[in-house]
Structure 1
């Protein structure tokens, strides 16, 4: 009987191993070993968790595995064409609808069953580094990863410039105990890596949100903050949400629903991945609410500052209205006007205007309008 280990502890060990491989800068690339075309990245058979000779075509590798009645073949493809995939579809008896989805891409994250074959679609994400967030900055880059899982094979189809499974393959090959559990263990490892990337991207996006939040609530932040930056973050967050949220149901289905491809001892690992995915989805929902609050606060600050500007303009208009009214009255050129021919009439009028302006100015100043 297979021993079920603590999935959380195993997940932690896998993450440590992944970081160790990255620090060592191991060359994880695999040259194409198949004559089917450049889309084939790798084709490797595994028996008892150990990597076998990979200098054979997919048909020869599958025949070898099925003859031994043990192990599986892991075939990796990158953006294959319909013609390149046709031979593989016939070899592994893949459903035409799943093949069409794998070739055309732009699919919603899902897990579908076609007989004894599982077809899973994952949205891969990566964080786009930038020195300063602008209203046109790309924050989240997405790709797609399709996985066919059968009794004795795994076919991974990658679309996009990121989400390479080379490091993951090396990591699993250094852990024969996991590979010996079959194709379902590979599917779990792929799902775990994809979800780990979701968490990493959400943490990076949080730094951008924190920066915008700090700027908005700083003194005079409403004038300095470009609202386009907030809207851009919301658009990029929506892109991340489209990758994460639809995958919640399929992962729960893999964790709870019995099927021939995923044995019960592997389902416990999928429950751990589903928990991490739920955490990422909750973070994204919280970020969306926070951005809405930041946007509302920014608009409120702009409104308050505009009201303050209008009060200042109104107060100065009232001050200027006094000399304007006096000059308008004495500019009517009537012959008989008070103090018109008095020697000190001009000085008196100017003094009255000055006193009235000072009184009005101090009144507005005392009330906080100026």
Structure 2
């Protein structure tokens, strides 16, 4: 589906050619065209391929989706794939945006995502002096918007980790629920890492050394995106280490809780064992026993049981077993 199509000249919109008139509009007018598609049909992609002479292999990747973040060069045309991450009912939902960048055009193809780029278009049109730099600047603006949307996701993970750390040492905590939440956070970080790490390799090709011609004048901008990605990756690595440490601490707490329960059971077992032993001694059916005919034998036996049990209880209580 076509979201937007605009022809820019000297940083201003001069026409909205649509898909079928792109090549004719570029022949009649200087400047470049910016086309945005969402979940396009095969007919739309085939039409764009004919109008802009797009590389068939890149078009096939944009048609199928499920691409790893990457950057490919086909002569003067660049093809980039990036992941769009957004919260979903079962964790993070992964969408994609594929970008074709040529000397006089840029095409963005969005798949499986509700995140649009109308804000990027509005920002660029409010700064015509930047749009004069051509499709390379639009490519930077799209990549910068994708990367900036990663920051709130890592912030949410860090905030939830802090909350877990605060509640982890509370008594009667459900340790299994804590481990499940930690594992869910680790999965979210893994999804973010799969989006960020390959994109670092992509942006490293856009500044310093040999740079594609369409991006050559914008190396400082892409270096800024690279710095943002480094910060995000550092935050992801730190959060992963925190999760691993928190999981180990939680497992240690589980072991401590089990040890405390074992101590309590052992202490009560020892108390009842002593009482059982005394009751068993006086409960033997012998005719000749010292206290058997004694009037105070029964109270004395009960007193001895209570005294021994009380002494054991005091001892275990003092040792911290009860």
TM over 0.5: yes
* TM bucket normalised to smaller: over 0.9
Q: What's the counterpart of residue 44 of structure 2?
A: 84
Partner of 1:143: 95
Provide the secondary structure at the position in 2 that maps to 1:124.
Answer: strand
- The equivalent residue for 2:63 is 103
Q: Which stretches of structure 1, 4 residues or more, deviate above 4 A after TM superposition?
A: 222-225
C-alpha displacement of 1:77: 0.7
| CA distance in 2 between partners of 1:343 and 1:122 (Å) | 93
1:53 matches 2:6: no
Write the distance in 1 (CA, Å) between the matches of 2:87 and 2:105.
31
Query: Does residue 191 of structure 1 match 2:143?
Result: yes
Partner of 1:297: 249
Which of 95, 109, 113 in structure 2 is aligned with 1:161? 113
Summarize the Cα distance change of 1:290–1:298 in structure 2 as closer, same or farther, 3 Å threshold.
same
Query: In the alignment, which residue of structure 1 is the partner of 2:214?
Result: 261
Kept in 1, the 8 Å contact 2:164–2:178? The answer is no
Tell me by how many angstroms 1:47 deviates.
Answer: 0.7
| In structure 1, C-alpha distance between the alignment counterparts of 2:175 and 2:242, rounded to whole Å | 20
| 2:213 counterpart SS class | coil
Question: What TM-score does the superposition give when structure 1 sets the normalisation length?
Answer: 0.82
The correspondence for 2:180, drawn from 228, 243, 250, is 228
Question: Counterpart in 2 of 1:132?
Answer: none
SS of the residue 1:334 aligns to = coil
Q: TM (normalized to structure 2)?
A: 0.94
Q: What's the CA shift for 1:173? A: 0.8
* Number of residues of Structure 1 aligned to a counterpart in Structure 2: 321
Corresponding residue for residue 285 of structure 2: 333
1:238 to 178, 184, 190: 190
Alignment gaps of 5+ in structure 2: none
* Structure-1 residue corresponding to 2:85: 125
